[in-house]
Structure 1
Amino acid sequence: MRQIVLDTETTGLEPSQGHRIIEIGCVEMVERRLTGNNFHQYLQPDREIDQAAIEVHGITNEFLADKPRFGDLVDDFLAYIEGAELIIHNAPFDVGFLNHELRLLGGDHPTLDAVCSVVDTLVMAKKMHPGQRNSLDALCKRYDINNSHRELHGALLDAEILADVYLMMTGGQGALSLDAGRGEGDTAGERIQRLDSSRPRLKVVRANVEELALHQQRLDMIEKGAGSCLWRRMESPESADS
């Protein structure tokens, strides 16, 4: 499975008021492993950035003056996300802005839902933690993910943090960590091990006929001694239907 964790920064809150995307940050995961094949770009929006937005992300018009426009990289961006599952926190915001940018270009550019599927981690978090705060900062605190380096919002930084949050929310890498050797003050977020994409896949060794027969003999012994065998109950069709 190929997943892209995505975040954007914008000139303001509403594309209907002419606001534009000024930063796109994407982090790629394949089979729940970070690959390092990221997509990151600042964009020239051809309009002023709201002061309230600058206070959130710190990006200024002066900084963006020499940056490309969305139309300059749209083909690269669409090729990068095509066929992937997008992981976004508060997806309607980012998807709305991206579709707005695609509409502004005209032509035959597709909308985002025609290119890939979208998972909204805010919706996930609300179902998992009803009645609680579910901002990205709140989730980092809940899952012990260190985001102390996040003084301002940034699309790539927030995508990297959201990747850690998503893995923790869905029983990812941190769930298998052992506490042995853990120093005082360590956090689960700091213990998440990002495996190198070049690491070979684990070899699957399947049981042969003789080993399967020995396994059945062991189950017979358990069933005879205990009166029932949980393993066989789990394997039975009746158990699967219940």
Structure 2
Amino acid sequence: MNFVAIDFETANRDPASACSLGLIVVKDGVITEQKQWLIQPPNLSFDYRHIKIHGITPELVKDAPTFDLIWEDIKSCIDNQVIVAHNAPFDVNVLHNAAAAYSLKLPSFKSLCTVELSRRAWPELKNHQLSTVAGSLGLDLDHHNSKSDALVCANIVMSACGYLNIKQICDCFNYLDMQSDVETFKYDRDFWDEQGFEIHTTEDQVKRQKSASKVSLESINTESKIAVINGYNVTLESCTCRDFSIRRLPCKHMYKLAQDLKVFDMSKLQQKSAENIESTACTIKININMDDIIYNVINDHTDKLLSGKIQKDEFIAGILRLVSGMKT
């Protein structure tokens, strides 16, 4: 089993801003090389949020080589190989953009995502983030240290292939193709039709909808419905960002595209949510049949909910307190 595991860390949102690369070479199922580079990104431009994640600062890389100076070493490792990474679309995108920044021609290679592979091997895990999978396999991880991440990634591949009885790395592609219907509700559903309404109402999704207004739209093709947002390739069905790769639900970039294409209207969503709440409240109000005191209390809570004086959770809590009092 031969492949190369990689992990990039970036200085900012620009996918060309690689500031560290970890690279692990596996030959015949054995790790034969472990490499790591600090890289000086273009203009030494760092985002403090990225520094907070990986701890790499401009001071650490000011004397490091630029990407073009380590390219031949990288190229010799990945040429005609299978590149594996945890959330491969992100790392491959960085590889493409970092090379393009110096007009470097990429060699031929295939890429394999260990997020997808680990989902197939261990669907019972609560999530398939690198730290979670590493913990389940008893692997040491210094997260966001590029060599450590790449090393764990390589071990995930070998563990998953052993567990799934996959003998050659190329067989992983066939296996993933055959298993592509495992999570059809996340991969194939239309996020933006009426039936997909409920996925946008969760707290996590509402946060992403609000964050959509803060992202940077770099380019958009309204006919093909494809955009580049914060350096990520975005469609209405997918995004190359880590968030979508892990959750397989609309990320803030997808919400931005959907809003700009006018296929998603947050105000209409809020209106529909309000209508659902009102319908529920009215049903409760109409169907309750008990003595006047209890009826009046619930009636009062319902009126407050409909007028916006209390929120839905406060309404439910009040009713639960009332029911609890009735039992005692």
Structure 2 residue 86 is the aligned partner of structure 1 residue 86:
no
Q: In the aligned structure 2, how far is the partner of 1:168 from the partner of 1:128?
A: 9
Q: In the aligned structure 2, how far is the partner of 1:12 from the partner of 1:143?
A: 31
For residue 26 of structure 2, give the secondary structure of its aligned residue in structure 1: strand
Q: Which amino acid aligns with 2:5?
A: V
The residue number in structure 1 matching 2:36 is 40
**Higher relative contact order at CA 8 Å, sep ≥6: structure 1 or structure 2?**
1
TM-score by length of 1: 0.61
**Number of residue pairs the alignment of both structures matches:** 161
Q: Which amino acid aligns with 2:148?
A: L
Structure 2: runs of 5+ lacking an equivalent? 164-328
Q: C-alpha displacement at 1:100, in angstroms?
A: 0.5
Q: 1:164 aligns with which of 155, 159, 171?
A: 155
Q: In the aligned structure 1, how far is the partner of 2:14 from the partner of 2:119?
A: 23
User: More helix by proportion, 1 or 2?
Assistant: 2
Q: Is the 8 A contact 2:3 2:84 kept in 1?
A: yes
Q: In the aligned structure 2, how far is the partner of 1:144 from the partner of 1:39?
A: 22
The residue number in structure 2 matching 1:118 is 111
Q: In the aligned structure 2, how far is the partner of 1:115 from the partner of 1:86?
A: 10
Q: Which runs of 4+ in 1 moved over 6 A?
A: none
Q: In the aligned structure 2, how far is the partner of 1:103 from the partner of 1:146?
A: 34
How much identity, in percent, do the aligned residues show? 23
Q: 26-35 or 162-171, which moves further after superposition?
A: 162-171
The residue number in structure 2 matching 1:133 is 127
Q: In the aligned structure 1, how far is the partner of 2:60 from the partner of 2:101?
A: 23
Q: Is the 8 A contact 1:78 1:115 kept in 2?
A: no
The residue number in structure 1 matching 2:101 is 104
Structure 1: runs of 5+ lacking an equivalent? 173-242
Question: Relative to structure 1, is the Cα distance of residues 105 and 165 closer, same or farther in structure 2, using a 3 angstrom cutoff?
Answer: same
Structure 2 residue 63 is the aligned partner of structure 1 residue 66:
yes
CA deviations 1:184-219 (Å, max 9, x no partner) are xxxxxxxxxxxxxxxxxxxxxxxxxxxxxxxxxxxx
Q: C-alpha displacement at 1:119, in angstroms?
A: 1.1
Structure 1 or 2, whichever has the larger Rg, is 2
TM-score by length of 2: 0.46
Q: In the aligned structure 2, how far is the partner of 1:135 from the partner of 1:57?
A: 16
For residue 100 of structure 2, give the secondary structure of its aligned residue in structure 1: helix
Q: In the aligned structure 1, how far is the partner of 2:157 from the partner of 2:87?
A: 13
Q: Is the 8 A contact 2:7 2:150 kept in 1?
A: yes
The 5-angstrom pairing of residues 1-242 of structure 1 reads 1-15=1-15, 20-35=17-32, 37-45=33-41, 46-106=43-103, 109-111=104-106, 114-130=107-123, 132-147=126-141, 150=142, 152-171=143-162
Q: C-alpha displacement at 1:128, in angstroms?
A: 3.4
Q: C-alpha displacement at 1:145, in angstroms?
A: 2.4
The residue number in structure 2 matching 1:211 is none
CA RMSD of aligned residues (A): 1.9
Q: In the aligned structure 2, how far is the partner of 1:49 from the partner of 1:140?
A: 28
Q: Is the 8 A contact 1:89 1:120 kept in 2?
A: yes
Q: C-alpha displacement at 1:118, in angstroms?
A: 1.1
Q: Which amino acid aligns with 1:161?
A: V
